[in-house]
Amino acid sequence: MSKISAAITAVGKYVPDFVLTNKDLEKMVETNDEWITSRTGIKERRILKEEGKGTSFMAIKAAEDLLQKSGTDPKEIDLIIVGTATPDIQVAATAAYVASEIGASNAFAYDLEAACSSFLYGISTASSYIECGRYKKVLLIGADKMSSILDYTDRTTCIIFGDGAGAALFEPNEEGLGFQDEYLRSDGIGRNFLKIDAGGSQLPASEETVKNKQHFVYQDGKTVFKFAVSNMADAAAKIMERNNLEEKDVDWLVPHQANKRIIDATAKRMGVNPSKVMMNIQKYGNTTSATLPLLLADYEKELKKGDNLVFAAFGGGFTWGSIYLKWAYNS
């Protein structure tokens, strides 16, 4: 019997309708379209405006898009993992609610939190369950409502992030397609530079924490940028080296969409031509856990069976790494 590998067999996505442009942000904080575009590559981002709707709303929509497109029966799904830094509520897993709402009544479900690397780490987790033969259908979702943790008077963060969700289904493959290799890392020093100070067990919510705006995302952009550029590029280069991949062998770089300059630097280090770099930061901004699956959904039509994809991400924690995966279908 041939070895079982874990392949992505379907993808889906959802972004909210409301578009927040750089021009809109010019009216909210001291910034301008030229600065945002040249420093980040972002032109606009989507925001989930409807009151009372959280991350699960978008995760459910992305999952339903996948189920509908692929004709998958939700009852056949064994496990649902939601990568998110913005769960609907504390304690209860957002994934459990998503599973119930989409009719995945035979699945168990949990959340995975590794900031912007959640989906990347999730690929590792989902693939492992499939490769060992324990489960046949694992649904991995990356979803974040970043607008719920942003201070829209802080120009250093509110211009970067957006809301969205993407989903990918992992199933066994006997042709050697799907997951090939991973290089994943973390470094706890990073939590000083990208974090939300309050609301967790270390500093529970209080009048003081609300007054001090400690429930919003804080980022030391310059430091994070420095670590992101070198670590994302290093990880991707390592994956190429370990798998004897030359530039010509890489069909697609699938990079976390944090900053176009970080993406360009990673591609340059890999020697990969810009035409092979997936990019949608200009229209969605940084959607944290959702960037990688949103890219897959946006580029699905261009992907061919057997294509070599190199994923690379960097996020809070710090967490980062790279994954090599062979695409398994033509759409």
Q: By C-beta, is 67 or 115 nearer to ligand UT7? A: 115
Minimal distance, residue 198 CB to ligand UT7, in Å? 20
Which residue has its beta carbon closest to ligand UT7?
221
Q: By C-beta, is 33 or 181 nearer to ligand UT7? A: 33
Minimal distance, residue 199 CB to ligand UT7, in Å? 19
* Nearest residue to 321 via CA among 106, 118, 29: 118
The residues annotated as belonging to the active site are: 116, 256, 286
Q: By C-beta, is 52 or 188 nearer to ligand UT7? A: 188
Minimal distance, residue 115 CB to ligand UT7, in Å? 7
Minimal distance, residue 310 CB to ligand UT7, in Å? 18
Q: By C-beta, is 56 or 319 nearer to ligand UT7? A: 319
Q: Which residue ranges make up the site for ligand UT7 (CB under 6 A)?
A: 31, 35, 39-40, 116, 155-156, 159-160, 221-222, 224-225, 228, 258-259, 262, 286, 314-315
